[in-house]
Structure 1
Amino acid sequence: MLENFHIQDYYGKIITTVILIIVIYILRFILRKVVLKFSEISLKSDNRSKLIIKYFNSLLHILFVIFIILLWGVDTGQLFGFVGAAITFIGVALFAQWSVLSNFTAGVIMFFAFPYKMGDRIRIQDKDFPIEAEIDDIQAFHTILITEEGERISYPNNLFLQKAVVIL
């Protein structure tokens, strides 16, 4: 088996892999700078920007693995069958926990398009449970609000996108 192995046959794939690794690290660096700059301009918290950077890095790593698999010619039929089954299983599990997924998605949306920032006093227009409070922290799944009475309320992020919110 080793007598048929010639490193020269793999130079193209090795060079392409090295280039792909360099591109991934450059993209990670650029995305980090862009997210941190956006965070600084829009007065977002450092914790939220670190979380968004982690999401982007995870996406880049997944894309890297897919490109490497395609580049090196792994039997994609069996691999994609396994991945498809795994994604289906995970999808069913997440569907069972749709509120977690919707809060996570809302947290990402709120990072880029949320008009409020920490320290703002707000009123959530909810006929059953109106809330007037100050935004203490905005996290991936929920936002921490503090009322005038000192109560700490953990408010789901997906409800922020569904309810009318007034800045006081």
Structure 2
Amino acid sequence: MKLPEIQLLETALVVLAVIVGRRILGGVLKKIYQNLDLQERRFRLINKIKDIILYAVALVFILTIWSVGQSDVLLFVSSFLTILGITLFAQWSLLSNITAGIILFVNHPAKVGDRVQVLDKDFNISGDISDIGLFFISITTDENNEITIPNSMIFQKMVKIGVQAPPKPQ
């Protein structure tokens, strides 16, 4: 076989390994999810992170197969990270919301479905957490309004967890 044919075959094997790896790791993660009774949103995020890591490893293998030089890859990665850094520096609040979102997801005692009250002198908000996203937390109030609060604001305000719902009018 000629070199390009071998490279195509090796690339196909890497793609096949990614497909099989996704299925196997997805099954393992699903069993862990069911055994630990994790929230569905957390499972989906962990699944996405698994896919990103798997694709990054596959990309490294494919670049190695096709003999792309390390200096070329390093130039591309450094250029990409520079552009990303400038973008995030220009939008510092976005970076703080992303960081806050990750910390809220992993370590904050309030989870999706919990009843909370955000204690603010101007806007006292209480309701059920309906979503914790990358940038915002969504809270459904007693009046069935959906309110979004930037993640970084949750770190700046006091939050009461497990607040009693007001009695419903009869």
TM-score norm. by structure 2 comes to: 0.68
Unaligned runs of 5+ in 1: 1-5
Q: Distance in 2 between matches of 1:31 and 1:106?
A: 28
- Structure-1 residue corresponding to 2:52: 58
Task: Tell me by how many angstroms 1:49 deviates.
Answer: 3.8
Partner residue of 1:92 out of 86, 102, 122: 86
Identity percentage of aligned residues? 34
Deviations, residues 63-106 of structure 1 (Å, cap 9, x unaligned): 32123213432122234213311221122112212322332343
- Structure-2 residue corresponding to 1:42: 38
Q: Quickly say closer, same or farther: Cα 1:106–1:15, change in 2 above 3 A.
A: farther
Cα root mean square deviation, aligned: 3.4
Deviations, residues 10-57 of structure 1 (Å, cap 9, x unaligned): 75x667545543443344234434268438713344xx6435433432
Q: Distance in 2 between matches of 1:31 and 1:127?
A: 47
Q: Work out whether 1:159 is the aligned partner of 2:153.
A: yes
Q: Quickly say closer, same or farther: Cα 1:147–1:24, change in 2 above 3 A.
A: same
- Structure-1 residue corresponding to 2:141: 147
Question: 1:35 touches 1:52 (CA, 8 Å); kept in 2?
Answer: no
Q: Which amino acid aligns with 2:37?
A: I
Partner residue of 1:83 out of 77, 80, 83: 77
Q: Which amino acid aligns with 2:118?
A: I
**RCO comparison, higher one (Cα < 8 Å, 6+):** 1
Give SS of 1:91's match: helix
Unaligned runs of 5+ in 2: 163-170
Q: Work out whether 1:123 is the aligned partner of 2:117.
A: yes
TM-score norm. by structure 1 comes to: 0.69
Question: 1:121 touches 1:134 (CA, 8 Å); kept in 2?
Answer: yes
Q: Distance in 2 between matches of 1:162 and 1:70?
A: 46
